[in-house]
Structure 1
Amino acid sequence: MRWQDRIIVDGSDRDLWLAGRRQVIGASDAAKLAKASSVDKYLAAKLAPRTFTGNGYTEQGHRWEPMMLAFAGIPQNVALIHSPDQPGFACTPDGLRVEPDGRLRLAECKAKHGKVVTGPSVGEWRQLAWQFECIPEADFIEFLWVELVQNARGEWDLRAEHRGMPHRLVIPRDHPEIVAARAQILPIATDLLTRLRVALTYERRAA
């Protein structure tokens, strides 16, 4: 099944995207999957009512994301795409580009506030591994980030050392951190998905 045929929602309607996202294990869920013994906690968080609509940090992420994607030459993506092997596993990479050979190159963008980093955090490695799991057509993910500092007006600007450019790290599918993260999160996600489906079934029956 082609990746285009695995699009759950195209992302043009935010409410539909959120509804579709609630039915699956997404990349932001996978980023939190650290312990098999904490599946009940992950399920409770997944089912909890969502009242968060964003803050200054998320606004900054939206502000800088187009610049980062343009820097990498990768179009923005808002579609939720499921795995060919498991429809309950899905992700929405920030960027997606079809290469001349038909393979895909993904992008993940991060805005780092008051931080200097050299690459993905532990949770971000899990998130990237999940994107590879859901979209096997991709061989590389461009991990892009900007480091922001607050100016005298309280606004967030690029750190001077950036020279107006984001940081860029090209991560291959066989990167050791990706391989290790995938091995860690896949069993936990499989258990979580089973419990999520049962919970959603009871929820629909009770409605």
Structure 2
Amino acid sequence: MTWKNRIVVDGLDRDAWLAARRNGLIGASDAAKFAKASSVDKYLAAKLAASSFSGNAYTEQGHRWEPLMLAYAGIPQNLALIHSPTETGFAATPDGLRENPDGSITLAECKAKHGKVVDGPNTGEWRQLAWQFEVVPEANAIEFLWVELVQNARGEWDLRAAHRGIPHRLVVTRDHPKIVAARELIVPIATDLLPRLRVALSYERSAA
């Protein structure tokens, strides 16, 4: 089963994508928060809590700069929600996905850093990357791309001039020590959380 056969929704309809995410799936944004195995009850409560969040000024900036970062890396944008070949409840939507001539896949994760100078992924972002490797085992690398933004006199966010407008780029492989460590942490948590989530959602539907 290829990644194309594992597409849950193509992402062209944002409401359908959100509905699929709410339907008992654990995604990369969830995995980014998995810090302690003892906190599964907290993660379950967060998944069950109704959310009306649809974005803010920071997420809008991320969407604004994502095409630039993907174009710089030569990776097509991806909107599809893809599930793991071994567990349909594990899913992710990598920002970019490129099929290489040798049959392997390179993913992309794009970030807009507001008022920050960083040298790579933070802890939560390492977990996101590790989750994408878990969900898309065909991928041999993920290009982590980021731009650093500063506010101008009008309060708008512009690219920090020090890097001449060029996105930062770090190629992460699945055998990177931080990826290995992150997967060892988050996969058991997700494996514990998923059946609890499914039971809770089933109960909610039957009670509705």
Residue 49 of structure 2 corresponds to 48
> Where does structure 2 lack aligned partners over 5 or more consecutive residues?
none
Distance 2:198 2:119 in 1: 38
Shift of residue 12, structure 1, vs aligned partner: 1.0
Residue 151 of structure 2 corresponds to 150
Residue 17 of structure 1 corresponds to 17
SS in 2 for 1:171: strand
1:70 matched to 2:66: no
Residue 190 of structure 1 corresponds to 191
Residue 106 of structure 2 corresponds to 105
Amino acid of the structure 2 residue aligned with 1:48:
A
Amino acid of the structure 2 residue aligned with 1:201:
S
Residue 86 of structure 2 corresponds to 85
1:199 matched to 2:200: yes
Cα deviation, 1:126-159, whole Å, max 9, x if unaligned, reads: 0000000000000000000000000110000111
Cα deviation, 1:46-69, whole Å, max 9, x if unaligned, reads: 111111111110110000000000
Amino acid of the structure 1 residue aligned with 2:61:
Q
Cα deviation, 1:112-139, whole Å, max 9, x if unaligned, reads: 0000100000000000000000000000
Identity %: 78
Distance 1:89 1:175 in 2: 21
Distance 1:171 1:188 in 2: 23
SS in 1 for 2:153: coil
SS in 2 for 1:41: helix
SS in 1 for 2:108: strand
SS in 1 for 2:175: coil
Residue 38 of structure 1 corresponds to 39
Shift of residue 35, structure 1, vs aligned partner: 0.6
SS in 2 for 1:202: helix
> Where does structure 1 lack aligned partners over 5 or more consecutive residues?
none
CA RMSD of aligned residues (A): 0.6
Distance 1:165 1:15 in 2: 33
SS in 2 for 1:181: helix
1:6 matched to 2:1: no
Distance 2:194 2:134 in 1: 15
Distance 2:60 2:89 in 1: 29
Runs of 4+ in 1 over 2 A off after TM superposition: none
TM-score, normalization: structure 2?
Answer: 0.98
Amino acid of the structure 2 residue aligned with 1:73:
G
Shift of residue 205, structure 1, vs aligned partner: 0.6
Distance 1:139 1:21 in 2: 25
SS in 2 for 1:97: strand
SS in 2 for 1:21: helix
SS in 1 for 2:119: coil
Amino acid of the structure 1 residue aligned with 2:18:
L
